[in-house]
């Protein structure tokens, strides 16, 4: 082989991977949160999501770029951000919650969407079945029917004298439709009277709690929704000030000072969603990826809060807890 031919061949071999890297297409992932950008829980979930994406071969800034948007607990803001996200034409979207997924699915039927933290995707019209989702949407649900009753049972275990319960919810969330009938039946069997508080803003939360009769026998149960998530510090502070035993839907309420939570592990959902999104980026269709129902629930107890409320946590409850904050 002539020297010139050899140099040309070696040069081509070196240039080829460089050219391949230069031509590598950066994939765009949209992420729509109903929370605020400064909410610490956003970072927790994103870290879980990105760690699995990286394990799957996707690195932010090299092979993927994220377009992250926030709803600040406002339905109008969520809808506005959804429209803007669709216009940016991402390759796939991670959607957190029913409100965000509703806004996105009303805007596109083409861009693949993987949702998390959604109660009833069939009733919401996102998919036609769990096993065979619709053309561009699949994901992970966050509740099962008996959860609503479980929350009342936990409240009774922690505070046996509870007879009146303020049920804080947002009526336009599917979680309420799923939880409420079972919750009412279980509450009645435990001798509890439910007072419903359909809230839409911080002032509504404050009014509902301040209207409660004070003293022993009063408790609260908080339903999952963007409103209760965004204003969780207000709910936790009111519960502490008025010495009201309160049960919450997710662990981050308890990390922030709440008494007890029981609900799906949202960090785990974001990790699972990363696997689905990786598969979509490699060519899988959402319709080929079944909607997954929750299998992992967390029971988290804050002993410091229990002590401040004058409550003794039963040993059986401590033993069954996934995490105890001291």
What's the confidence (pLDDT) of residue 322? 95
Radius of gyration of the chain (CA): 23
What's the confidence (pLDDT) of residue 318? 95
What's the confidence (pLDDT) of residue 24? 61
pLDDT at 21 over 70: no
Average confidence score pLDDT of the chain: 90
What's the confidence (pLDDT) of residue 4? 44
- Quick check: 258 and 239 in contact, CB under 8 A? yes
> What's the rounded Cα separation, in Å, for the pair 289 and 114?
10
Write out the two tokens for 64. Answer: 């993927």
At 25, the pLDDT band (50, 70, 90 cuts) reads confident
pLDDT at 312 over 80: yes
**Could you tell me the domains of the chain?**
23-143+266-295 (3.40.50.2300), 147-264+298-325 (3.40.50.2300)
Write out the two tokens for 42. Answer: 């956003």
Sheet holding 218-222, edge to edge: 193-198, 164-169, 218-222, 246-248, 260-264, 297-302, 323-325
**How many CB atoms neighbour CB 214 within 10 A?**
10
Q: Interior CA angle at 202 toward 249 and 37, to 5°?
A: 70
Helix (H) or strand (E) holding 200: none
> What's the rounded Cα separation, in Å, for the pair 235 and 253?
9
Q: Read off the pLDDT of each residue in 128-142 and give the average, rounded to a whole number.
A: 93
pLDDT at 19 over 60: no
How confident is the model over 98-132, as pLDDT tens digits? Answer: 999 999 999 999 999 999 999 889 989 999 999 99
Alpha carbon 123 to its chain centroid, in Å, reads 18
Q: What is the DSSP-derived secondary structure letter of residue 215?
A: S
HSE, CB side, 13 Å, CA atoms: give it for residue 186: 18
How confident is the model over 240-287, as pLDDT tens digits? Answer: 999 999 999 999 999 999 999 999 999 999 999 999 999 999 999 999
Q: What is the pTM of this model?
A: 0.86
> What's the rounded Cα separation, in Å, for the pair 311 and 44?
30
Q: Beta strand pairing status for 64-70 and 92-96?
A: unpaired
Q: First vs last Cα of the chain: how many Å apart?
A: 75
């Amino acid at each position: 082989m002539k020297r010139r031919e050899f140099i040309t061949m070696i040069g081509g071999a070196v240039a080829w991977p460089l050219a391949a890297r230069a031509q590598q297409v950066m994939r765009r992932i949209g992420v729509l949160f109903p929370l605020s950008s400064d909410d610490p829980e956003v970072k927790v979930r994103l870290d879980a999501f990105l760690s699995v994406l990286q394990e799957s071969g996707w690195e932010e800034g090299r092979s993927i770029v994220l377009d992250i948007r926030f709803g600040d607990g406002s339905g109008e803001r969520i809808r506005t951000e959804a429209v803007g996200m669709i216009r940016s034409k991402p390759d796939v979207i991670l959607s957190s919650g029913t409100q965000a997924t509703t806004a996105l699915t009303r805007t596109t039927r083409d861009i693949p969407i993987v949702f998390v933290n959604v109660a009833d995707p069939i009733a919401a019209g996102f998919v036609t079945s769990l096993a065979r989702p619709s053309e561009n949407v699949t994901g992970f649900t966050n509740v099962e029917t008996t959860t609503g009753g479980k929350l009342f049972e936990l409240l009774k275990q922690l505070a046996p004298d509870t007879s009146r319960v303020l049920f804080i919810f947002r009526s336009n969330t599917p979680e309420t439709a799923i939880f409420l009938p079972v919750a009412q039946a279980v509450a009645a069997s435990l001798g509890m009277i439910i007072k419903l508080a359909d809230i839409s803003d911080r002032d509504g939360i404050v009014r509902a709690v301040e209207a409660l009769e004070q003293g022993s026998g009063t408790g609260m149960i908080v339903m999952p929704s963007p409103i209760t998530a965004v204003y969780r510090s207000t709910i936790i502070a009111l519960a502490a000030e008025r010495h009201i035993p309160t049960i919450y839907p997710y662990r981050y309420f308890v990390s922030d000072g709440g008494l007890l939570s029981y609900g799906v592990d949202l960090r785990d959902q974001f990790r699972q969603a990363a696997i689905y999104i990786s598969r979509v980026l490699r060519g899988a269709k959402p319709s080929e990826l079944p909607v997954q129902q929750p299998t992992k629930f967390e029971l988290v107890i804050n002993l410091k809060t229990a002590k401040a409320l004058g409550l003794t946590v039963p040993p059986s409850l401590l033993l069954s807890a996934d995490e105890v904050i001291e």
